[in-house]
With several copies, the nearest count.
Chain A
Amino acid sequence: MSAASHLSPSEIMIAAVAPMLEGLGHVAVGSQSPIPGSAALLAQARSGGRMRVSILGSRDQNPFTDGGRELFDCAGQGRIDAFFLSGGQIDGAANINLVGTGEIETYPRHQQRFPGSFGSAYLYYVVPRVILFREEHTPRTLVKVVDFISAPGTSAANVYRPGGPFALVTSRCVFSFDKHRARFTLQSLHPGVTTAEIAEYTGFAYDTPARVPETPSPDPATLALLRGDIARLVAATYPGFALKTWGIG
């Protein structure tokens, strides 16, 4: 556990996300998602190059040549296996809110306005494995019921929906999502975090197994890969993050 004790919070989350991508053919990442982006590049390296990673806004990792619509068309074609979404609010049914807080009747004069829904109201439906990612794990972000549903966690049976939420990764833990029950289960705790802490900081109800394991730390080889080749790749797309996390840029 000595290596793990030196892991930074970002590295813990990267290591938590990367295994979720194992075996996938094509993972896409939004332009301002350095931790998911780092996790995707790590998973790609571990796949021996069999996994494609497309990072929006990256000069080198972005293969798209048909304009802004191509990401969405590509996902609609079933060519994107995993994507990351976040939310100003996320609730226990995996509904996400990227619009704002307050009663919907007061729209658009929100108490707190978020930037907007981006592509969530589409990608959440068509990408098979959507990983929710939100560093801030507080009752403010993980709420009982979102004030505005940018995109719902689940849909009625007759709604076309090959995709949906797979897990929720925060700075404290990993939740898995069961779409049939529309409910999260506490899957693993980051080093040093307790189930009581999760209960205190989570605004929605979720299932807690009898024993909750620690979020697995990367083995030494993986950690060396992350801090070496991957960190240099990450620096090309997310220079600020790479500088802060690994001191390179």
Chain B
Amino acid sequence: MLTSAPPLLSVSVLAARIGNGTKLVLPADYSGCAMAVVTELMRRPVRDLHLVGAPVMGFQADQLIGAGCVARVEAAAVTLGEHGLASRFTAALKSGELEMWDATCPAIHAGLQASEKGVPFMPMRGLIGSDLLAVRPDWKVIDNPLAEDGKRDPIAIIPAIQPDVALFHAAKADRHGNVWIGIRRELMLMAHASKATFVSVEEIVDGNLLDDPALAAGTIPSLYISGLAVAVRGAAPIGLADCYSADNAALAAYATAARSSAGFRDWLARKLDREPVTA
């Protein structure tokens, strides 16, 4: 085992590695959400996060916004899905306390891929004529330099998105720090694109995930992992594919509570009270 393997931390110590002002990329609710870590971030609370949704966000973003942790959101959408609008997100936008960088899914993927490849931008089709270009002055339209002679072929270019930290939850890691994510390759893209990657997992397994040809295909090598924590049911109340389903009653209760500022405060207080910090 490498002594350079990423450290195994408690959930709260892992959360403490995510400082104020961090540009933090989070996955969509259908991927692996590190909800236990999010709870610790709200307990502190961390401040002035720049959240990047890869490419959309749900409960994680709404909760962090409600808890006053977020200065800016960059995402293709923020929604609680079948549980309705993300009320804390919507309220924070209306009050003017939240900066919004609206995007579209493939532009977020392209920006992360640019960072993954170490290039300053990626070209992308679509977008031209969308008001997203008006509210995203960092996106530019150029003439395709390879267009046939005499033809103008406008194309958007999306700057690289390099988050400081990627944070997500996965089913398992090994003691070398390799993390199995299966088909959820957007988590690998997040890790490649970010300066640091923190992951909570259901369990640490024996052996080396890279030694099994089947598991290796869905594994992020420890090379990209900065720290790990075990959090059993760490994605709850959101589900984790092939591990457990979403607790829809809990999600609906959150969505209802979060419709008002007071309702959110009560929900958060009860949550922090019920889940004492683990050192």
Interface residues of A (CB under 8 A from B): 25-26, 31-32, 48-52, 54, 57, 59, 63-70, 72-79, 98-99, 104, 107-110, 113, 115-126, 148-152, 155-156, 158-160, 240
Contact = CB atoms under 8 A, between A and B. Distances in A.
Interface secondary structure of B, over-half rule? mixed
A75 B193 CA distance: 12
B77 A158 contact: no
Nearest to B5: A49
Given A52-B2, A107-B135, A119-B106, 15 more contacts: A50-B3, A65-B216, A67-B183, A67-B184, A68-B31, A73-B117, A77-B192, A104-B131, A118-B105, A119-B55, A122-B125, A122-B127, A149-B131, A159-B154, A160-B125
A57 to B, nearest CB: 6
A162 to B, nearest CB: 9
Interface string B122-152: 0011111111101100000000000000011
A79 B187 CA distance: 18
Interface string B144-170: 000000011111000000000000000
A54 B105 CA distance: 17
Contacts of A108: 93, 98-100, 102, 135
B260 interface: no
A32 B116 CA distance: 26
B222 A49 contact: no
Chain A CB within 10 A, most for which of B2, B77, B130, B184: B130
Contacts, number: 194
A118 B56 CA distance: 7
B119 A63 contact: no
A50 B5 CA distance: 8
21 contacts: A57-B30, A59-B241, A65-B188, A65-B216, A66-B185, A67-B188, A68-B189, A69-B113, A69-B186, A77-B118, A78-B118, A98-B77, A104-B131, A113-B89, A115-B78, A117-B132, A121-B104, A124-B126, A150-B132, A151-B129, A155-B129
A146 to B, nearest CB: 9
A99 B185 contact: no
Contacts of A98: 77
B96 A109 contact: yes
Categorize the interface residue count of chain B. Answer: 35 or more
Contact of A116 (B54, B79, B186, B216): B79
A76 B125 contact: yes
Given A65-B219, A67-B189, A116-B79, A121 B130 contact: yes
Nearest to A97: B131
B86 A115 contact: yes
Given A52-B4, A69-B189, A72-B109, A119 B129 contact: no
Contact of A68 (B28, B130, B154, B221): B28
Given A69-B106, A74-B223, A159 B131 contact: no
A52 B3 CA distance: 10
Contact of A117 (B76, B109, B218): B76
B143 to A, nearest CB: 10
A115 B93 contact: no
Contacts of A59: 241
Chain B CB within 10 A, most for which of A59, A69, A149, A159: A69
Contacts of B86: 115
Contacts of A26: 223
Contacts of A54: 223
Interface string B231-272: 000000000010000000000000000000000000000000
Contacts of B193: 77
Contacts of B273: none
B40 to A, nearest CB: 26
Given A51-B4, A118-B105, A119-B106, A104 B153 contact: no
Contacts of B90: 113
A242 to B, nearest CB: 13
